[in-house]
Amino acid sequence: MSTPASRTPASRHHRRPRGEGQWALGYREPLNKNEENKKNDDGLNVRQRIIDVYAKRGFDSIDPADLRGRMRWYGLYTQRRPGIDGGKTAILEPEELDDRYFMMRVRIDGGQLDLAQLRTIADISNEYARGTADLTDRQNIQLHWIEIESVPDIWERLEAVGLSTTEACGDTPRVILGCPLAGIDTDEVLDATEQIRELKERVIGNPAYSNLPRKFKTALSGCPAHCTVHEINDVAFVGVVNERGEAGYDLWVGGGLSTNPMLAKRLGVFVRPDQVGDVHEGVTGIFRDYGYRRLRHRARLKFLVNDWGVEKFREVLEQEYLKEPLPDGPAPEPPRSSRRDHVGVFPQKDGAFYVGFAPKVGRVDGDKLHQIADIAERHGCGRVRTTIEQKMVVLDVAPDQVDSLVAELEAADLRVRPSTFRRQTMACTGIEFCKLAIVETKTAAADLIDELERRLPSFSEPLTINVNGCPNACARTQTADIGLKGQLVVDENGEQVEGFQIHLGGSLGVDSGFGRKVRGLKTTAKALPDYVARVVSHYDDQKKEGESFADWVQRADEADLK
């Protein structure tokens, strides 16, 4: 029998190798379901269908490709149907997990809000979202229980005050992180407000960047505390001063967490403020054109950067996209504090003060948002900010108003001087609403805070506790002192119950790293307070002068970590 020509050794030798789906190399065929959906129709086009069709005809009229795909381009995810336990998360089909309601993410670039915007979100929460509102760890506010019929009116209200949900989700440039103190911090390297505005105008809603391989996260800040955690963003601009005394940015690329965490890498270039827009579009363009699209789990920029290395990435950026070289530049100064947030009372450069406060694990509601706006207004303040730590900041507080404003916030359980546990514990959405989650997170984290405050009232060292409902690390578990990844575990009775895999000693800053995994280190949700109190007590007893929890973990006996 003769061998078909297509199967001869020679033809196999000359067959084109399978690519990674990189457009720039000619691989544009639909390589997975997500890529096929995006090829069939730009996600930005779903907006008009929502307005003209779905909001009028109801949930059952929504095309499945829009429901579980393109609607994310406008910040909409179906939320988890109530009553489905974590053991079924990876077993059921998407349509079995879907509820008929949506999570809606309001993007807040740079965390910048005025009181009219805050009150608009509060009104939408109360009228359309059953009062729900969560501060996220990317400066957004998320609402739940949104019905498709309400979406056009919500958009109209948001857009009337300069807010939107455009590309708050999806394979797009997500919210642009910025320091909440931009323009007012006494020690900032430079004010990045104009650059954030420029990036938003250039890329958000722009069809040139609305079909990326996957989500694309940007940080841009001149903050000396490095509060935008540039180490774990796809692209980050970090304020620096070069040898000539000029303020500009150091460029980092390829950071990201989830199941394959990687730290961003410095390109070693100096970016002037007027170059930021072009450089950001260049990096975004590289991701669009060279990013991997064949396999969804490898479709983040970090994999390309890891494979190429910084030298090649810089070369492609300069030669193919910028058409000019960038000068070498300095690395950023170390963060000014081990707590890279803005909680407390501090002076602004203009003589006023800012006041940062901590809701519990970012959970607020419509009434609470109205209360925050009212407190700010009573004290003559017109601007508030969200942070990436699920916290908020009131700006422009006159010196004679500080004490009364702090008193009102504290009375509303918005802690200005919180315990370490309130200040540095965050939690993702969890199984209450998220279709990917395996365990409950928000209530577990809030209860953990209460219990630790009761058991360890004098503990005051910096300590991050990040609680995640699944392996995707939305709450940054790998970079926390104590990272808790939700999973089902077996309890002492042999029953399968909610619990957490424990990750210890992650950190960002001078010694960034993903910490230490101790084989088999898990806890049930019920036993979580006992475990955390025990390991924190061991650290408190054994720490050397100035030793961080992350440093102690690296030298501690395994027995003290269990």
**In this predicted model, what pLDDT tens digit does every residue of 434-485 receive, in sequence order?**
999 999 999 999 999 999 999 999 999 999 999 999 999 999 999 999 999 9
- Evaluate whether residue 362 is within a structural domain: no
Distances (CA, A) of 103 to 129, 340, 389, 470, 555: 9, 29, 20, 18, 43
Distance CA 417, CA 437 (A): 32
Give tens-digit pLDDT for 115-143. Answer: 999 999 999 999 999 999 999 999 999 99
Give the per-residue pLDDT at 16.
Answer: 52
Give the per-residue pLDDT at 7.
Answer: 39
- Evaluate whether residue 470 is within a structural domain: yes
Q: Where are the beta strands (DSSP E) in 89-131?
A: 98-106, 112-114
Give tens-digit pLDDT for 471-529. Answer: 999 999 999 999 999 999 999 999 999 999 999 999 998 889 998 888 889 999 999 99
- Evaluate whether residue 552 is within a structural domain: yes
C-alpha closest to that of 423 among 398, 399, 392 = 392
Q: Which of 5-14, 233-242, 272-281, 358-367 has the lowest mean pLDDT?
A: 5-14
Give the per-residue pLDDT at 2.
Answer: 36
C-alpha closest to that of 232 among 489, 480, 521, 517 = 480
Determine the average pLDDT of the residues in 45-62: 98
Question: What's the distance, CA 327 to chain centroid?
Answer: 30
For the chain, what is the radius of gyration of the CA atoms? 24
Residue 12 has pLDDT above 80, yes or no: no
- Evaluate whether residue 383 is within a structural domain: no
Give tens-digit pLDDT for 289-336. Answer: 999 999 999 999 999 999 999 999 999 999 999 999 999 999 999 998
350 vs 259, more confident: 350
Residue 94 has pLDDT above 50, yes or no: yes
- Evaluate whether residue 483 is within a structural domain: yes
Distance CA 445, CA 360 (A): 9
Residue 381 has pLDDT above 70, yes or no: yes
Residue type, 394: V
Residue 456 is inside which H or E element, if any? none
Distances (CA, A) of 410 to 113, 200, 300, 356, 403: 21, 35, 41, 11, 11
- Evaluate whether residue 504 is within a structural domain: yes
Residue 542 has pLDDT above 50, yes or no: yes
Give the per-residue pLDDT at 11.
Answer: 41
- For residue 190, the SS3 value is coil
The reply to whether the predicted model has a pTM over 0.85 is yes
The contacts of residue 475 (CB under 8 Å, 6+ apart) are: 137, 426, 427, 428, 441, 466, 467, 468
Residues of the domain holding 518: 423-561
Structure tokens at 463: 């300590």
Residue 196 has pLDDT above 60, yes or no: yes
- Return the CATH number at 518: 3.30.413.10
Residue 351 has pLDDT above 50, yes or no: yes
Residue 258: burial class (beta carbons within 10 Å; 0-12, 13-18, 19+): middle
Give tens-digit pLDDT for 162-182. Answer: 999 999 999 999 999 999 999
Give the per-residue pLDDT at 17.
Answer: 57
Specify the number of domains making up the chain.
1
Largest Cα separation within the chain, whole Å, is 95
CB contact at 8 A, 143 and 133: yes
| Average pLDDT in the chain | 95
Residue 401 has pLDDT above 70, yes or no: yes
Give tens-digit pLDDT for 54-91. Answer: 999 999 999 999 999 999 999 999 999 999 999 999 99
Distance CA 177, CA 168 (A): 12
Question: What's the distance, CA 143 to chain centroid?
Answer: 16
Distance CA 556, CA 406 (A): 39
Give the 3-state secondary structure of 356-411: EEECHHHEEEHHHHHHHHHHHHHCCCCEEEECCCCCEEEEEECHHHHHHHHHHHHH
Structure tokens at 461: 């060292």
* Structure letter (DSSP) for residue 218: E
- Evaluate whether residue 116 is within a structural domain: no
Distance CA 35, CA 24 (A): 15
- Evaluate whether residue 447 is within a structural domain: yes
Percent of the chain with pLDDT over 90: 93
Give the per-residue pLDDT at 337.
Answer: 82
